[in-house]
Structure 1
Amino acid sequence: MSVRSRGPVAVLLTGAVAAGAITLSACGSADTASAAASAPSRAAAPPEGQQEGLALPAPTGKYAVGRDSLHLVDKGRRDPWVPKAGARELMVSMYYPARKGTGKPAPYMSTEGAQAFLKQMELEIPAEVLGGTRTHTYTGAKPTRGKFPLVVLSPGFKTPGTTLTGLAEDLTSRGHVVAVVDHAYEAAGVAFPGKGIVPCTACGKVGPDNFGPAAEGRAKDLSFTLDRLLGRTSPWKHADMLDKKKVGMAGHSLGGAAAAATMAQDPRVRAGANLDGPFTASAPSRRPFLMLGTKADHSPGGEDKTWDSAWQQLDGWKRWLTVAGADHFAFTDLAPLAAQLGEDDPKGLPGRRAAEITRDYVGAFFAEQLRGKDEPLLDGPTKANPEVAFQHPTARGAKDDSGTSSRP
């Protein structure tokens, strides 16, 4: 059964990455322009000390990428999925602009973590292959000087935050600090101190009837993450790099729903993006928001009706973009990794192009909204990106449907 034959929430809860297949294929439908297939690859040589194999696309910005890991415990809440586990726990990967030539190559994920994730998703790939994916991140890297906007990322349901590594690396290389949040018991393959790899307990408990509460629960996680990172006693040793007045948030699938839900009730978040997730709460008010999803499910009047209602509620700067040929996982690392395994759907969007489109548009959005850069890419369709359609388009300097200027 194709994932596109089900409702939007069912699409997000599916355990398979490709329609009816147990492969790592991440791209699904037709209608991809031939220009995309011939677009040049941006792959780079592996960092020193890493071997050939699967590799994430090279970041496009000028900064090297460092990474730390934080274990956060919200003692004011019990875990909603495993109450007997005690307080709610999060693992946060902190990506930061670093000095080139410092630190050691960071792993994509452990073999044990990859094995748990692949089993949960029913994917037939050696854990060593996925876990050994080359990154462009370094642990122990020395931070560069300056203050940078913070972007918080939340992954999709069942998928660990590591599947957003490529996007995190690229945003960091362009001049952001990026916090990727792993929510306990909501994905397979994530290790917690003293517990090891925890199971995806929520995988058997979340359905269409309680998807909204799941997103609201994540919103509490994300606001708590901001409390800790932006507070006077931040647990992150490089917290002085953060520009606390410039905070953005984005997520894929359930993470996108959570980003919108967080932004609707947390004024600290200045700009947000939803990558192919539904909307489950009131839309953010008077702040910029990017909707980026598949053409098949997230076009106006399409399968996911929540996007139509959210668009009407959004009353600040906003863009609704759809990508032809993309499927639900095209906005994650699974797309370019599938391409390297030879599993691109010949009728769908190539995984390499999926990665380029995701990082370029999300990167342009946060550069414009948090760093004040002029990003013409967000003005309208371009010949270089024929797969990307602007729904309800507005011209630069003109008024959005809300009457709000299209410039922040």
Structure 2
Amino acid sequence: MSAPSVHPIGVAVLGLGNVGTEVVRILQENAGDLEARVGAPIVLRGIAVRTLGDRGVAEELLTTDPHSLVARDDVDIVVEVFGGIEPAKELMLSALNAGKSVVTANKALLADYTGELAEAAENHRADLYFEAAVAGAIPVVRPLMQSLAGDRVDRVIGIVNGTTNFILSAMDSTGADYSETLAEAGRLGYAEADPTADVEGYDAASKAAILASLAFHTRVTAADVYREGISSITADDLATARALDCTVKLLALCERVLGEDGQERISVRVYPALVPLSHPLASVSGAFNAIVVEAKAAGRLMFYGQGAGGAPTASAVMGDLVMAARNKVFGGRGPADSTYAKLPIAPMGDTPTRYHVNMQVSDRAGVLSAVAAEFAKFDVSISTVRQEGAGEHARLVVVTHRATDSALAATVKSLSSLEFVNDVTSVLRLEGTSE
């Protein structure tokens, strides 16, 4: 099918940080190839920045008035890489309400406001694309929305934050503690000056909300995601993991679960977990990301690559931009937001998984049987028990079969009250096993 016209597609870029700079570079350096792929020239109309100055682009392209830039009649697509909630949300809604397509990498905004943005896109026949919002260059949003649209996705599990993966990988390989490794990550540029969003799991939770919404056709927000960070992980936890032929990863998990009433729910959670070395996610090291999708017909699919950075994220932005531009040229639209299933969110307490419980105990006769009795009291089945050392500070390590989070929490509370349990030093979930 030939293009109905060669009317140029005007693009406004909001933000000129690492990602915005790469997007502008690609637009300018690859103009000829992009025109051939789209069927019309893609013309950069302007770039909104917070402050003017020497930004390495033509001065006439720069503006500190993003609202006027978005409102221009010659702008057809808005690329939002400002980040944050406002003014990004207001600008994106303004563009969509005017029938202009939006491409964004803003996971924090999408995790809470996709519904409002998608409604505006639907009402005004515009596209809303956000491949770059999850895992940088890794193509996972479009496969979930399109390639697997005819399949049933049962589970999505992934490493979606490069900072935490770098820290945990470094702790595992060097034996250093968390604070020392975090400082090194900051020196190398892998951690922000304020790393809270990364190390406490907020960034991963936003991405998990987006993935769950797409996978299960249900609106999920960041508030629905159970979240734990990695700041409490110790060198001892990594050493224990190695003894179990495991490693520790901060995981985003989205899966279908059945409640006691037989009703299907979805569980969405982020936390550090033991992962067997035999699992494909265990080998993902450094700042790389990977996502495993388990679908009924397709089986297990793995997506791996650079999950952050200016150039990788810009690659995902440009893929969306080309799709949006083609739709402008040929008069079509991308797939609409799908939330028909409206599945309820499972409370974390009802979510089953396996656990690794590490405790310091007094090595006395009957301790093992008493500890086992506490697990049995709350219907938590024990898989293995290992004792290390002797005397008043022996270590007892228990690995369970699948149990609910509430049952495990009750067990740990009860264990802590026993006279011969000096301390429950750590509780880690165990993911990626068949049991």
Common topology (TM > 0.5): no
| Smaller-chain TM-score bracket | under 0.3
Q: Higher helix fraction: Structure 1 or Structure 2? A: 2
Which one has the bigger strand percentage?
A: 2
Please tell me whether Structure 1 or Structure 2 has the larger radius of gyration of its CA atoms.
2
